[in-house]
Amino acid sequence: MAPLLLAQVSPDDAVLREIARLQRNFHFLSYGLIVAWLILVAYVLLMVSRERRLKREIASLRAMLEDKTVNRRG
Amino acid sequence: MRNKILFGVGAFAMILLARNIYVIAGLPEEVNQGAIFKIIFFHATMAMTALTCSFVAFVSSVLFLITRKFVYDEMAVAVTEVGLAFLAANLITGSIWGRIIWGIWWTWDARLTSALVCWLLYAGYLMLRRAIDEPTQRATFAAVFSIFAFIDVPIVIFSIKWWRTQHPQPVFWAGGSFPPDWAAIFWLNLLALMMVAAVFTAVRLRQEAAQREIDSLRRMAHAL
């Protein structure tokens, strides 16, 4: 039975299967690295948008305080 | 000046990371696992960075409870957020490695489960902070929660020693073998990621200072 099964697998098939396994292995390594960097880039973008929001909020609060002070003096 | 230092450290870290990726790509494939083994250079270093952030958050939280100085609370929230991003990247890279080596994306193994619980605990910490408005109460509750969450960190680290797990045993401290030139690249990569985390934390600290300024401006606006 075993020789019959072995006869059905040609050496070419084994080589092709090994190449496919190595390629899949390499693709998954690439996916892993891409996802890891995407998470860090997403976090950087989140921080940049938060920084902009904070600056806008500080500017608007300062303008509001200035208006209130001028109105009280006036 | 501070911005220039931050920019310099960040640029150096990025150059070092780019160089490391180039060197790692040129390394030969591991005999049993093939190319996917190289994910360890990012998977393990990201975990180490995240757990270092957890340790800094723990120390900062303890110091806040002792001194009641808000600078420690700001440090705790900054490093927790940065650590959470690194831990997320660690969990996902681990899952991708597991799909190739184990044939599954996830298993409820002690190491994986404790790392996921760690991520959920620190995400809970950030959500708790959003739920409380009063700054002193928020900082106190968050510090206590952070100390509680840190209990999970030694469990994550030693789970592979305490229980029989599907996760591989540690390479560096359990008799594992790693070629010396590979180890050098590993430590350099850890240094680069630690520098990236330090830059992120510094930027996040500046944002916390801006938030504190907003709170004080709001109080002034209410008083007028």
pLDDT digits (tens, 9 = 90+) for A3-23: 555 556 677 788 888 888 888
Rounded Cα distance between B72 and B63, Å, is 6
Is the Cβ–Cβ distance between B82 and B201 less than 8 Å? yes
Q: Is B85 on the interface with A (CB under 8 A)?
A: yes
3-state per-residue secondary structure call for B54-96: HHHHHHHHHHHHHHCCHHHHHHHHHHHHHHHHHHHHHHHHHHH
Quick check: A32 and B224 CB within 8 A? no
Q: What pLDDT was estimated at residue A6?
A: 56
Q: What pLDDT was estimated at residue A25?
A: 83
What percent helix, strand, coil does chain B show, rounded to 5? 80, 0, 15
Rounded Cα distance between A54 and B203, Å, is 13
Give the ipTM of the model, two decimals please: 0.84
Is the Cβ–Cβ distance between B13 and B201 less than 8 Å? no
Average pLDDT of A39-61?
Answer: 93
Q: What pLDDT was estimated at residue B164?
A: 84
Q: Is A70 on the interface with B (CB under 8 A)?
A: no
Spell out the residues 6+ positions from residue B101 whose beta carbon is closer than 8 angstroms to its own.
B33, B36
Map out the domains of chain B with their CATH numbers: 2-223 (1.20.120)
Average pLDDT of A16-42?
Answer: 87
For A32, other C-beta atoms within 10 Å of its C-beta total 24
Quick check: A58 and B207 CB within 8 A? no
Quick check: B93 and A51 CB within 8 A? no
CA distance A41 to chain B (A): 10
Q: Is the dihedral of CA A30, A37, B79, B147 positive or negative?
A: negative
pLDDT band at A72 (very low <50, low <70, confident <90, very high): confident
Q: What pLDDT was estimated at residue B28?
A: 84
Q: Which residues of B touch A65 (CB under 8 A)?
A: 217, 220-221, 224
Give pLDDT tens digits along chain B (224 positions).
Answer: 778 898 899 999 999 999 998 998 888 888 788 888 889 999 999 999 999 999 999 999 999 999 999 999 999 999 999 999 999 999 999 999 999 889 899 999 999 999 999 999 999 999 999 999 888 999 999 999 999 999 999 999 999 888 888 888 877 766 667 778 888 999 999 999 999 999 999 999 999 999 989 988 888 888 87
pLDDT band at A74 (very low <50, low <70, confident <90, very high): low
Q: Is A15 on the interface with B (CB under 8 A)?
A: no
